[in-house]
């Protein structure tokens, strides 16, 4: 039966119960009303007639006049037509007989007095019979009321119990299947696809249960197929990770080992049979290398003795982030993704390290070997320019000038390559002394004074009267400043100026070289201090080796300083480097 029909039957049953109670109540109320009507209609009227006839006798003297006779006779006739009680008829007949005596013209006064006496006696008898009837009928009516009250009380109690039972049980008929359906949906939400609903009734809820069970079966099938796919992909990924030459370690959000390949086990010297699923703390307590990888995220390079030789590794770690599919309903803000762990990769860069060292050694060797022939060339050029050897014509002088420029450039590049090899091999030697920053500036100015004069460029120094000394390598710091100035002169137009500024900020002394050339595009500024990088030129300026700024960066950072640039197209460039101030002494102006 459909739910709609059940609801109709339920409310129809309620209507029948209410109708039944109403009919019973109306029946007994009507019965009580009828009893009251009998009392009023019969007995009360008889008492009224008797009272009127007594009034006529009380208010008139014998013999009765015609009006009194008419009134008495009128009420007597009404009484004769309203006889309802046993004995009332005999009393009424006797009353008629004595009234006839009262109204007879030939009756003697004695007969009239006797008739009046007996008439009053009959009136009292009529009144007594009706009063007794009223009491009797009132008792019977009261009994009917009591009976009706009891019956109505019973019927009302029965109706209340039926309605109460209906109100308690009938909502459950709707609510129970809905509750089971909600519970089933919640189970499905928890991925319990084995949940099924069973409703015995043949109604809409049974149809819903059938559809729900079909959905659950389909989800179970999808879960099984999806789980098989996931397991297959998991095995595939584990195989890929196992075949990789790099050491890979994965931790979940509980800091438990999610996966680890054989390379990582060998590097970390982990001999446990069961590693996956174990907390990382179990191994970091006794394995310093593992502890360094997991806890020291700032440490990126490792040198490990592996298979009897030193190997170099580069550490990379990535956070595992997945979509947040089940956000906490109590959270004010719903987060779209969440972290579920970390992946650590130790890349074996030993081969690249060895190649880099070989490259550095090769550059150092070649540079060292080139310095001798280049010096010989410069000596030969100097001799050729000496007129004591013999005069040269103007064309030969120009050629010798070009050779000298190129040899100077080769010698500079060779020196830079040697400096670079020192930096890369870690053999850079710093000779720290306490120096006045202005002495470093003067040293650099003397080195570039001649080319500045040739281009007509003005060199201006801006320095405070008192500035802290620096604890630095005088030669290498001056070399950096000379490199800044050489670049500024190269990219400045004739008759312009270059400003060298010294200032002190906090515990640092800042050196700045500002030119008013074309400036450097923002896209190149981040790469200026990379090795071999050169800003594209328009061909008017000779490019260097691309090593000067990279070496300058290494020299400054080796002295615990910083180096940077600020530039804008059309406004020129300003190169800065800072060195720690030596606070104990001040350079006086």
Q: Are the beta carbons of 257 and 278 closer than 8 angstroms?
A: yes
Q: Write out pLDDT tens, residues 151-177.
A: 878 878 888 887 778 777 766 666 777
Phi-psi label, residue 317: left if phi above 0, alpha if psi -120 to 50, beta otherwise: beta
Q: Write out pLDDT tens, residues 479-495.
A: 899 999 999 998 888 88
Residue with the larger pLDDT of the pair 425 and 499 = 499
Report the C-alpha gap between 118 and 45 in whole angstroms: 22
Report the C-alpha gap between 479 and 485 in whole angstroms: 10
Report the mean per-residue pLDDT for the chain. 79
Pairing of strands 309-323, 257-260: unpaired
Q: Which residues contact 474 (CB under 8 A, 6 or more apart)?
A: 431, 433, 435, 439, 440, 443
Report the C-alpha gap between 46 and 75 in whole angstroms: 9
Q: Write out pLDDT tens, residues 514-554.
A: 999 999 998 888 888 887 788 876 555 555 567 788 888 98
Residue 76, pLDDT above cutoff 60: yes
Q: Give pTM, 2 decimals.
A: 0.41
Report the C-alpha gap between 118 and 95 in whole angstroms: 8
**Of 580, 557, 577, nearest in space to 565 by CA:** 577
Q: Are the beta carbons of 448 and 483 closer than 8 angstroms?
A: no
Q: Which domains does the chain have, with CATH numbers?
A: 3-175 (1.20.1330), 246-323+338-348 (3.30.450.20), 354-423 (1.10.287), 430-588 (3.30.565.10)
């Amino acid at each position: 039966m459909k739910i709609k029909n059940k609801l109709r039957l339920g409310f129809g049953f309620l209507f029948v119960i209410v109708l039944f109670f109403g009919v019973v109540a109306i029946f007994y109320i009507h019965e009580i009303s009828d009893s009251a009507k009998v009392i009023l209609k019969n007995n009360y009227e008889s008492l009224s007639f008797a009272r009127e006839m007594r009034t006529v006798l009380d208010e008139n003297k014998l013999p009765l006049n015609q009006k009194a006779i008419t009134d008495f006779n009128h009420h007597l006739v009404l009484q004769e037509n309203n006889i309802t009680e046993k004995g009332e008829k005999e009393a009424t007949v006797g009353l008629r007989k004595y009234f006839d005596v009262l109204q007879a013209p030939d009756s003697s006064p004695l007969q009239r007095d006797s008739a009046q006496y007996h008439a009053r006696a009959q009136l009292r008898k009529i009144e007594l019979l009706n009063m007794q009837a009223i009491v009797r009928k009132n008792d019977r009516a009261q009994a009917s009321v009591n009976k009706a009250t009891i019956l109505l009380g019973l019927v009302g109690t029965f109706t209340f119990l039926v309605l109460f039972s209906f109100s308690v049980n009938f909502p459950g008929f709707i609510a129970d299947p809905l509750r089971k359906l909600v519970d089933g949906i919640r189970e499905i939400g928890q991925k319990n696809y084995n949940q099924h609903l069973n409703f015995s009734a043949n109604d809409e809820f049974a149809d819903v249960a059938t559809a729900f069970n079909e959905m659950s079966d389909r989800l179970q099938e999808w879960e099984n197929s999806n789980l098989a796919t996931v397991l297959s992909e998991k095995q595939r990924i584990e195989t890929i990770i196992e075949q990789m030459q790099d050491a890979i370690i994965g931790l979940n959000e509980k800091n438990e080992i999610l996966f680890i390949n054989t390379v990582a086990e060998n590097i970390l010297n982990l001999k446990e049979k069961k590693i996956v699923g174990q907390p990382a703390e179990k191994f970091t307590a006794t394995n310093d290398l593992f502890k360094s990888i997991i806890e020291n995220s700032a440490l990126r390079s490792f040198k490990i003795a592996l298979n009897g030789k030193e190997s170099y590794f580069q550490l990379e770690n990535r956070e595992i982030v997945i979509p947040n599919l089940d956000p906490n309903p109590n959270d004010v803000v719903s987060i779209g993704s969440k972290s579920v762990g970390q992946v650590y990769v130790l890349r074996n860069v030993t081969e690249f390290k060895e190649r880099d060292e070989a490259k550095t050694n090769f550059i150092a060797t070649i540079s060292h070997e080139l310095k001798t022939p280049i010096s010989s060339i410069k000596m030969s050029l100097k001799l050729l320019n000496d007129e004591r050897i013999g005069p040269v014509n103007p064309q030969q002088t120009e050629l010798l000038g070009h050779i000298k420029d190129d040899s100077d450039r080769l010698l500079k590049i060779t020196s830079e390559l040697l400096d670079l090899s020192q930096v890369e091999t870690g053999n850079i030697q710093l000779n720290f002394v306490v120096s006045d920053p202005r002495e470093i500036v003067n040293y650099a100015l003397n080195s570039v004074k001649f080319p500045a004069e040739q281009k007509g460029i003005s060199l201006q120094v801006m320095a405070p009267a008192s500035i802290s000394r620096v604890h630095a390598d005088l030669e290498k710091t001056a070399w950096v400043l000379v490199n800044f100035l050489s670049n500024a002169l190269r990219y400045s137009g004739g008759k312009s100026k270059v400003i060298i500024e010294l200032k002190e900020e906090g515990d640092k002394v800042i050196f700045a070289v500002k030119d008013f050339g074309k400036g450097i595009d923002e896209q190149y500024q981040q790469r200026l201090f990379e090795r071999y990088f050169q800003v594209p030129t328009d061909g008017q300026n000779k490019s260097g080796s691309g090593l000067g700024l990279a070496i300058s960066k290494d020299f400054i950072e080796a002295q615990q300083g910083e180096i940077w640039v600020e530039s804008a197209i059309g406004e020129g460039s300003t190169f800065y480097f800072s060195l720690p101030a030596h606070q104990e002494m001040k350079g006086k102006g």
